[in-house]
Structure 1
Amino acid sequence: MTGRYLLGDYVSRAMAHAVYDKLDDGGYTGRIPPCKGVVAFGSTLHDCETILRSTLEEWIVLGLKLGHPLPIIDNINLNITATREPVDAL
């Protein structure tokens, strides 16, 4: 059986949209254009990427908790409301 990790896929695909720039001081900045406000800074490109991923994860959790619409990335839509079915059949 193959499992799908929707949130993990969303994070990975969002990170594929990341844009990095080298700063004048030698550090780096990163952002994910579809995810407004997700920005990170790091002294190395690796640090910046790590911080950007963490920022993205926190941004997603907060957005879901507050009910903010999240961008659909590569056909992954986290905005779908879960439905509950009665458990009468048990």
Structure 2
Amino acid sequence: MTEAVYDKLEDGTFAGRIPPCPGVIAFGKTLRECENELRSTLEEWILLGLKLKHSLPVLGGIDLNEEPRHKSLGAL
């Protein structure tokens, strides 16, 4: 959410988007409502991208494209 950009529209409502994530946009009557909608939209966008094996942008230093590293049970 650190890369979110918000705009106040002419009617007093808000629009939010995350530029590195195409199509992640939300609207709300208040800035807080817009932020909550944007967070929800981003979560759904990430989940769909993971399911479809799309390459996702690195956001907030988190790279969801990396394969998980597993430690052997002997190391625990």
Question: Unaligned stretches of 5+ in structure 1?
Answer: 1-14
The alignment status of 1:34 with 2:20, answered yes or no, reads: yes
1:78 to 45, 64, 69: 64
* 2:61 aligned partner, one-letter code: N
Question: Unaligned stretches of 5+ in structure 2?
Answer: none
Aligned residues: 73
What TM-score, normalized by structure 1, do the two folds share? 0.72
SS at match of 2:19: coil
What TM-score, normalized by structure 2, do the two folds share? 0.84
Measured in 2, the distance between the counterparts of 1:49 and 1:75 equals 20
1:4-83 aligned within 5 A: 15-82=1-68
Identity among equivalent positions (%) equals 61
Q: Give the RMSD, CA atoms, in angstroms.
A: 1.9
Which portions of structure 1, spanning 4 or more consecutive aligned residues, are displaced by more than 2 angstroms? 81-85
